[in-house]
Amino acid sequence: MEASVFILSQAYDPHASALAWALRRNGVPYRFNPSLRVDGDTRFSILLGGTEDHTTIDAIDGANIRSVWYRRPAFPEAGLCQEADRAFIEGQWKCLQRSVFDAADQLLPALWVNRPRAAEQAESKLVQLQAARASGLRIPDTVIGNHAPDVAALIRRWGKIVFKTFYPQNWQSSSKGLTYRMSVVPLDATSELPEPAIAMSPGIYQRYIDKAFDVRVTMIGCKLFAIKLRKASGDAYFDWRAHYDDEDMHTELFEVDAWLEAKLRETMKRLGIVFGCIDLVVDRNGDIYFLEVNQAGQFLFVEEVIPDITILRAMAAMLSAGKVDYSLNDCVDLKLSDYLAGDEYREIGSVPRNVGHQIAIES
């Protein structure tokens, strides 16, 4: 049986769907699972004995899996069962899935993008910043927590700072019909920052960098793809992520020199991940600062805005090859634009998606 690729992501994920499409075009068998349990027909077995373990998933030998894309797996659902038993059955499946992910390298000795334990740790903004600093990259002076005096001291030192949440939050106003998004907020000496408000909820406070432009670097194994993002007028966005599909958004290739590439690769190595979307900013003196890396970030928009960057082919090539030192020739020539023009993407795009973790409705 030809080696398969496993994609672990929730249904209607455009990135996972695009990779499934690319793997089909490349003639590579794959499984697109939301979790280890797909439905009532799922059969999973781990045999422990002697010096080696053996894993099978629906009659597929675990040793015959070339790569696993651990993108955004869901918790297993029990499906059709007695309601009184649902919590127990789902708990059993969650424990099995957690055990498999914890022992990923031993049970499924394939290329993991990324290894579950490393992926979970790499989600920590604190761990990311420490890894980048240890690798020799500049990071903005940062306060993480809820101690108001330290936040005030950061403002006094730099004049202007930014507040970041650990994850985005949205509120919907029933009276105004508007949705408000909390992610990144500028603060200065004029901002009202009462101690009880800061103490109530911890956050990330960083020195504001007077930037010339942003840089998004997508690391896919041995290859990296970097673009510069700014307004067409030449100014930098405060937060480009809210504007990446604006007409005013200007993108172009960014050349990563050998020094910066070495530092980025060292950061990825320290985090133990082989794929990640790295956000950098360049100030008006040309100094580069590391902000964050998203180990399950969005990357297809890079090819959408600059079609010559074959980033979809690169990801498909790495998953197909089952190794980080892949070649683009490990995948047939394919383009994101062909996927976006197809019925599969139109079906995915028609499904409404949540824009944040929670929506709070005004009373």
Coil vs helix vs strand at 243: coil
Residue 352 has a pLDDT of: 55
Contacts of 17 (CB under 8 A, 6+ apart): 32, 344, 345, 348
Residue 343 has a pLDDT of: 87
- Count of residues in the chain: 363
Q: Which comes out higher in pLDDT, residue 169 or 237?
A: 237
Cα gap 238→214, rounded to integer Å: 9
DSSP state of 138: B
Nearest 5 degrees, angle CA 113-CA 27-CA 115? Answer: 10
Residue 316 has a pLDDT of: 98
How many alpha carbons lie under 13 Å from residue 21 in its C-beta half-sphere?
Answer: 23
Residues 89-97: contacts with CB within 8 Å, 24+ apart?
A: 93/35, 93/36, 93/37, 96/36, 96/44, 97/35, 97/36, 97/37, 97/73
Q: What are the structure tokens assigned to 339, written together?
A: 């996927």
- When pLDDT is averaged across residues 242-247 and rounded to a whole number, the result is 76
φ, ψ for residue 10 (rounded to 5)?
A: -75, 155
The average confidence (pLDDT) of the chain is 90
Residue 353 has a pLDDT of: 55
Q: Is 86 exposed, middle or buried (CB count within 10 Å of its CB: 0-12, 13-18, 19+)?
A: middle
Lowest-confidence region among 155-169, 209-223, 264-278: 155-169
- pLDDT of residue 73 exceeding 50, the answer is yes
Task: Identify the bridge partners of residue 206 per DSSP, sorted by sequence position.
Answer: 142, 162
- pLDDT of residue 80 exceeding 80, the answer is yes
- Amino acid, single-letter form, for residue 220: I
| Cis preceding linkage at 114, omega within 30 | yes
pLDDT, tens digit, 9 for 90 and up, residues 18-35: 999 999 999 999 999 999
Coil vs helix vs strand at 241: helix
Q: Is 196 exposed, middle or buried (CB count within 10 Å of its CB: 0-12, 13-18, 19+)?
A: exposed
What percent of the chain lies above the pLDDT cut of 70? Answer: 94
- When pLDDT is averaged across residues 278-284 and rounded to a whole number, the result is 97
- When pLDDT is averaged across residues 86-105 and rounded to a whole number, the result is 92
Lowest-confidence region among 183-192, 233-242, 260-269: 233-242
| Domain ranges (residues) in the chain | 4-114, 141-207, 211-349
Quote the crossing angle between the two packed helices 311-321 and 14-25, to the nearest 10°. 70
Lowest-confidence region among 63-77, 93-107, 179-193: 179-193
Q: How confident is the model at residue 289 (pLDDT cuts 50, 70, 90)?
A: very high
- pLDDT of residue 226 exceeding 80, the answer is yes
Residue 241: C-alpha distances to residues 93, 279, 298 (Å): 36, 10, 11
The residue behind tokens 């790295």 is 278
* Superfamily (CATH) of domain 211-349: ATP-grasp fold, B domain (3.30.470.20)
Dihedral sign, Cα of residue 240, residue 207, residue 292, residue 102? negative
DSSP string over 304-316: HHSTT--HHHHHH
- When pLDDT is averaged across residues 66-85 and rounded to a whole number, the result is 92
Contacts of 202 (CB under 8 A, 6+ apart): 144, 145, 146, 166
Residue 339: C-alpha distances to residues 29, 70, 314, 342 (Å): 18, 22, 15, 5
Q: Of 323, 336, 223, 296, which is closest to residue 3 (Cα–Cα)?
A: 323
Q: Which comes out higher in pLDDT, residue 326 or 167?
A: 326
Residue 2 has a pLDDT of: 66
Give the DSSP H/E element, type plus range, for residue 22: helix 14-25
Q: Are 5 and 321 in contact (CB under 8 A)?
A: no
- pLDDT of residue 362 exceeding 70, the answer is no
Cα gap 252→306, rounded to integer Å: 7
Residue 49: C-alpha distances to residues 59, 60, 61, 342 (Å): 19, 19, 16, 48
